[in-house]
């Protein structure tokens, strides 16, 4: 039976902040407008925005809808109009950049923990030390695209097109006569890296000399914490292994070697060498032509033994 001292996990806890399309939105209080005038404003804005989209788009556009909502404030119902005064081409580019950075994050790191708060999901990522530079280079390239996008947006803000939108809002008494759209450049993608390791080698000798009982209590808490983190990491990777083997069993994947080797390399990069060895055995069993159902069962047994050793 393996001891916990033989299992480690290391890398960078990684946090990424990427701009979203929502930051391009502007809102206006239209409570003072009659229903007819409000609907006229929406129609005219849709026509204007569609014309702008057509002008800046490289392909045919389908038009754009606006968000109109009601909100109660101190028992007074307010009518709020929300839309993005930018061409859809720019808005979609922000969405694409956000998708690309999180795709890279999932490619070069392990989701150590998932937390769902209401409709939002937040993940805790652990990037192996050796993969962090590649992730940072990807972010650097995407930030260059954000820089170019900001230059295009600046040109648009200074153009006559945005003035057409402003004039519509002024005519409806929604925007002040001298007011303009407040423009804040799209922020760069930022990355926070925090070195992280789960290793049982750390000993607190001074505490041991001062308070032996307290030292043992601290060690027990740390041991429990190490076990929880390692269990999450091993379970996450093992689930992906079983997902691949499941596709083989369902005849949806013929050659799983490439995907399994990719997971094995991720385990090695994270310091999970015991799990990497388990995947190596699984690969050997597949090469030997063992029935996939037996491979699944024996892989499960090895992972279970590994988890029990924690």
The whole-number pLDDT of residue 60 equals: 46
In our burial notation (b when 16+ CB lie closer than 10 A, e otherwise), range 166-200 reads: bebbeebebbeeeeeeebeebebbebeeeebebee
Secondary structure (DSSP) of 29-95:
E-TTS-HHHHHHHHHHHHHHHHHHHHHH-SS-------EEEEEEETTEEEEEEEE--S-HHHHHHHH
CA distance 69 to 26: 13
The whole-number pLDDT of residue 5 equals: 45
What pTM was computed for the model?
Answer: 0.77
Q: Half-sphere exposure of 80 toward its Cβ, with a 13 Å CA cutoff?
A: 12
Q: Is the pLDDT at 91 greater than 50, yes or no? A: yes
The whole-number pLDDT of residue 2 equals: 44
Chain centroid, CA 17 distance in Å: 9
Q: Is the pLDDT at 203 greater than 70, yes or no? A: no
Q: Token digits for 228?
A: 């929880």
Report which secondary-structure segment, H or E, holds 121: strand 120-127
Q: What angle do CA 101, 107, 108 make, to 5 degrees?
A: 90
Phi-psi region of 251 (alpha: psi -120 to 50; beta: other; left: phi over 0): left
Query: Who has greater pLDDT, 203 or 299?
Result: 299
Mean pLDDT over residues 254-278, rounded?
A: 94
The whole-chain average pLDDT of the chain stands at 85
The whole-number pLDDT of residue 92 equals: 92
Query: Who has greater pLDDT, 162 or 267?
Result: 267
Q: Is the pLDDT at 220 greater than 70, yes or no? A: yes
Phi-psi region of 259 (alpha: psi -120 to 50; beta: other; left: phi over 0): alpha
Question: Is 271 in a helix, a strand, or coil?
Answer: coil
């Amino acid at each position: 039976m393996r001891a916990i001292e033989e299992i480690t996990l290391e890398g960078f806890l990684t946090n990424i902040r990427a701009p979203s399309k929502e930051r391009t939105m502007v809102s206006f209080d239209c409570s003072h407008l009659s229903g007819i005038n409000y609907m006229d404003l929406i129609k005219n804005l849709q026509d204007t925005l569609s014309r702008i989209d057509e002008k800046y788009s490289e392909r045919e556009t389908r038009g754009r809808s606006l968000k109109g909502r009601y909100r109660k404030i101190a028992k007074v119902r307010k009518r709020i109009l929300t839309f993005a005064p930018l061409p859809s081409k720019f808005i979609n580019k922000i969405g694409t950049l956000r998708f690309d950075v999180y795709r890279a994050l999932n490619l070069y790191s392990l989701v150590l923990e998932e937390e769902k708060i209401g409709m939002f999901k937040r993940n805790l990522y652990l990037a192996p030390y050796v993969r962090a530079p590649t992730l940072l280079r990807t972010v650097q390239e995407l930030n260059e695209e954000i820089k170019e996008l900001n230059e295009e947006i600046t040109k648009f803000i200074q153009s006559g097109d945005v003035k057409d939108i402003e004039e519509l809002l002024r005519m409806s008494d929604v925007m002040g006569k001298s007011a303009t759209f407040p423009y804040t450049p799209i922020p760069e993608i930022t990355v926070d890296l925090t070195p992280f390791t789960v290793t049982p080698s750390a000993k607190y000798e001074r505490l041991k000399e001062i308070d032996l009982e307290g030292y043992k209590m601290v060690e027990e808490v740390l041991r429990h914490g190490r076990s929880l983190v390692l269990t999450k990491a091993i379970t996450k990777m093992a689930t992906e292994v079983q997902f691949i083997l499941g596709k083989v069993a369902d005849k949806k994947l013929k050659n799983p070697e490439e995907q399994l080797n990719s997971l094995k390399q991720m385990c090695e990069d994270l310091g999970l060498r015991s799990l990497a060895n388990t995947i190596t055995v699984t690969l050997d069993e597949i090469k030997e032509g063992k029935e996939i159902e037996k491979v699944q069962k024996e892989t499960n047994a090895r992972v279970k033994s590994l988890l029990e050793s924690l």
